[in-house]
Amino acid sequence: MTYKQIQETADFLNRLTKEFSPEIGIILGTGLGSLVEDIDVEHEVSYADIPNFPVATVEFHSGKLFFGMLSGKKVICMQGRFHYYEGYTMQQVAFPVRVMKLLGINTLMVSNAAGGMNDLYRLSDLMIIKDHISLFLPLNPLIGPNLDELGDRFPDMCDPYDPAFVSMALGIAREKGISVHAGVYVSVPGPHLETRSEYRMLRMLGADAVGMSTIPEILAARQMHLRCFGLSVITDMGIPEKLEKADIAKIITAAKKAEPNMTLIIKEMIERL
């Protein structure tokens, strides 16, 4: 995707929203779209109506962009994201984050559904992402001609997830009596789930949860110097010795069970920013 396309899309949304200028971008993962019910929505637009925007093809990703107020802050919220396994390029997956930057955000918050590989985790637990492993993704959204207008050719990844945000989220969880973990997220291409041996390998490398999203968006965001926060909902278990066949209905149910606590943490964080 070219800078001209990113600018064209941002200009379209600015005209549509009368220069709404959001401060915070939010990307909601599988089964986690209900946060939009807490947003005082001022503008709503389908991805299909946005120039240059991909269209979500996963049935449980609604494919809408919301502009509004949440916890006293202006936000832009994606209800449904894009994945490499849908056939999109990594540049297309990261495209909405690029557009959000041009619209004015300084902070990106992402959520996802993930498989838990830590023996201490249980279904519907929340994991605050403190670091990630991206080495298993076949491509990177930063590959290709660098968009110098948006960031450095070689962005640093010392702290992809803002340590202050991690500490804030842990503190809010303690205040509200919410049980959370802080762990390492690893992304794989998908769409298949992992074999027992693959789960075993990922655990050996230090990952606590595995999913098929998030990291491309974070890579693009960090290149543009956005502060990032990530939250995983454990929707299935990847413990090799206890592995069960995946059931998408159960995964969605597990996400829905955890969603109120996830929403509470995000709302409280936004209020305190």
- pLDDT tens per residue across span 147-180: 999 999 999 999 999 999 999 999 999 999 999 9
End-to-end CA distance of the chain: 31
| Cβ(98)–Cβ(1) below 8 Å | yes
Taking the C-alpha atoms of residue 39 and residue 28, their distance in angstroms, rounded to an integer, is 13
Q: What is the residue type of 152?
A: D
Homologous superfamily assigned to 3-272: Nucleoside phosphorylase domain (3.40.50.1580)
What pLDDT shows up at residue 58?
62
Whether this model's pTM surpasses 0.85: yes
What pLDDT shows up at residue 246?
82
Taking the C-alpha atoms of residue 4 and residue 15, their distance in angstroms, rounded to an integer, is 16
- pLDDT tens per residue across span 54-113: 887 665 556 899 999 999 999 999 998 999 999 999 999 999 999 999 999 999 999 999
- pLDDT tens per residue across span 194-234: 999 999 999 999 999 999 999 999 999 999 999 999 999 99
Taking the C-alpha atoms of residue 96 and residue 53, their distance in angstroms, rounded to an integer, is 7
The confidence band for 7, taking pLDDT boundaries of 50, 70 and 90, is very high
- pLDDT tens per residue across span 112-133: 999 999 999 999 999 999 999 9
Taking the C-alpha atoms of residue 32 and residue 258, their distance in angstroms, rounded to an integer, is 9
Decide: helix, strand or coil at residue 78: strand
Tokens of 90: 């990594």
Judging by beta carbons within 10 Å of its beta carbon (0-12, 13-18, 19+), is residue 73 exposed, middle or buried?
A: middle
What pLDDT shows up at residue 62?
67
